[in-house]
A = this chain, B = another copy of it.
C-alpha cells in the first residue's frame, strides 16, 4: 500500500483522505523509497478564477472549466488534478442556486453526492460552532459572559434565524449559513490538528462587560474537534473522464474567503504536478483572497498561472461593465501571474469566437482558450493548450515561492484595505470612502483584539461585499468609482478581520428565492 493509500478510506461510492495524517507523514520524512511508496511531488497551483458575475446566482462556469481543463491536461500526458470547494447543500436544496459540480461533458462522477452534502461535512462544521454557542449560552446564564458574539449556524437559509432572541429576548444571537461560518474558515485554513485546536480555542464567543471571552473559556477544543470528526478530511472524487478531483470546504467568497481548504491543496500538490484550484466568485473575490490571504498570510502557493473564465454574455453584453474582465486579467498579469482568458461558450455561441479573439487581441490579452465545455468537455480544449502548458512548465516551486509578497501582518488595516481596493477593484486610496459608522467599528474591533491579547493589525483583511459588484457603482466612469467602508468584525480564531463594503448586498444568511 502506498503512503497515500494508507490515509484513504472508502466512503460509499467515493473516498476520503486523512489529509492531516498524510501531510504529517510526509513532513516527518515517510520513506518514499519503500516498495509501493509514493513519490512526493511538488505540484504547482493554477488558479481558476472568473469575470465578476452579473448576479450571484449566475456563475461563469468555473467548475465546468476546471473539470474540462483537468481532463484536457491529463489527455496531454500531464498529471493534473483539481481542488474544488464543496457546494452548499442548503442553497441548492432551497433552490437559491444550482449545484456546483460542473456540467455536461465536464462533470464530476457522483455529482449528486457532492451537491447534496457529501458526508455531512458542512453540517458537522455547523454543529461544532453551534455547540460553542450553546455552551456560551450556559456561560451567560452562569454570569461568565454578558454578550454572545459568535453566530449560530444553519445548513439551510432561513429568514427566522437571521436574528434569535435569547434569555427572554434580552440578548440577540445571529445565525449564518454553514459555509460562511468562522468554523468553516478555521477548517479551511488549518493545516494540522494542532493548528485547528488552537484556532478553535481562540474564537471569541462573546464578551463579559466588554472584555472578550474565548471559546477556550466555555469548552475544550478537543470536544469541538471530535464534533468536527471527518469534516476535516477532503473527499476524493473523479471527473466523468476519470481525472482525480479533491473537494473540501466551501466558504462563500462574498462573505468569507471563497477558497478550498489549504490542506486539500497541499495534499494535491504532493500527489500531482498541476493542481487547478477553484476560487470564487470573480477575480475580485476568490483570486484576491487566494493571493492576499492564502498565499501571502497562510503559506499557500503563489499560482504558476491563472485561468480567467467568462461567458461571452458577461464580458460583452453590458457596455458599462465591459471594463471588468480586462481589468481582472491585467491585475493578475501585474502580479506576475500568466493569465489565460477562457471563454465558456453556450449553445449557439460558437460563431462568436472569432470576434472575441480579435477583441481579446485588441485588449492585449493572451490568446483566449475557448470552447463549449458543457457540450464538448476536454475535447474542446486539448489542442488549444500549448501556450498554457509552456507557461506552467517554466517556473519551479521555489521560483514561485520567491514571488509571494511579504506578509502584511502588523501593517495597519487602512493601508491593507487601500492596497486591496486599488489592486483588485481599481479604485485609488483617495476614493475610498467611509461611513460614519466605520471608524468606531474599526476602533471597537481593535479594542476587542487588544483585550484578547493580539493586534487587529495581525489579522488578514477579508472584504465582505456583493459578488456582482466591485465598487459602489461599477457602471460609473473609472475616474468616479468609489468604494465605501462600512464596518469591521473580528474573527479571532480564523485570524481574519472582516470589513463590509457598502456594496454588500448579500448576507451570511441568504433568502430563499
Contact = CB atoms under 8 A, between A and B. Distances in A.
Contacts of A167: 159-160
A164 B155 contact: no
Contact of A137 (B90, B93, B158, B173): B158
Interface residues of A, number: 51
A303 interface: no
A137 B159 contact: yes
Given A12-B9, A12-B16, A127-B89, A134 B157 contact: yes
Interface string A17-32: 0000000000000000
Contacts of A123: 120, 123-124, 126-127, 155
Q: Copy number of this protein in the oligomer?
A: 2
A298 interface: no
Interface string A123-139: 11011001101110110
A164 B160 contact: yes
A345 to B, nearest CB: 31
A304 to B, nearest CB: 34
A127 B154 CA distance: 8
Q: Which of A10, A94, A161 has the most CB of B within 10 A?
A: A161
Given A127-B123, A131-B93, A227-B116, A159 B164 contact: no
A169 B223 CA distance: 34
B138 A160 contact: no
A365 interface: no
Given A9-B12, A10-B10, A134 B158 contact: yes
A34 B127 CA distance: 46
A164 B164 contact: yes
Given A159-B166, A161-B164, A94 B127 contact: no
A117 interface: yes
A512 interface: yes
A249 interface: no
Contacts of A169: 165
Given A94-B131, A130-B158, A160-B173, A137 B512 contact: yes
Given A10-B9, A93-B226, A229-B117, A512 B134 contact: yes
Interface in A89-126: 89-90, 93-94, 112-113, 116-117, 119-121, 123-124, 126
A512 B11 contact: no
A423 to B, nearest CB: 38
Interface in A468-502: none
A133 B120 contact: no
A119 B155 CA distance: 16
A141 interface: yes
A156 interface: yes
B120 A124 contact: yes
A166 B160 contact: yes
Interface in A143-176: 152, 154-161, 163-167, 169, 173
A13 interface: yes
Contact of A94 (B93, B117, B134, B160): B134
A229 to B, nearest CB: 6
A230 interface: yes
A223 B93 contact: yes
A130 B117 contact: no
Contacts of A126: 123, 155
Contacts of A94: 131, 134-135
B116 A130 contact: no
Nearest to A159: B137
Contacts of A10: 9-12
Given A11-B12, A12-B9, A120-B124, A160 B165 contact: yes
Contacts of A158: 130, 133-134, 137, 152
A407 B126 CA distance: 42
16 contacts: A9-B10, A11-B119, A89-B227, A93-B131, A93-B227, A94-B135, A112-B226, A119-B120, A120-B121, A127-B155, A130-B158, A138-B159, A138-B512, A160-B167, A164-B165, A165-B165
Which 9 residue pairs of A and B lie closest in terms of their CB atoms, listed nearest first?
A: A120-B120, A123-B123, A10-B10, A160-B166, A9-B12, A134-B158, A127-B155, A138-B512, A131-B156
Interface of A: 9-13, 16, 89-90, 93-94, 112-113, 116-117, 119-121, 123-124, 126-127, 130-131, 133-135, 137-138, 141, 152, 154-161, 163-167, 169, 173, 223, 226-227, 229-230, 512
Given A117-B229, A137-B158, A160-B165, 7 more contacts: A11-B11, A12-B16, A123-B124, A131-B156, A141-B159, A159-B167, A160-B173
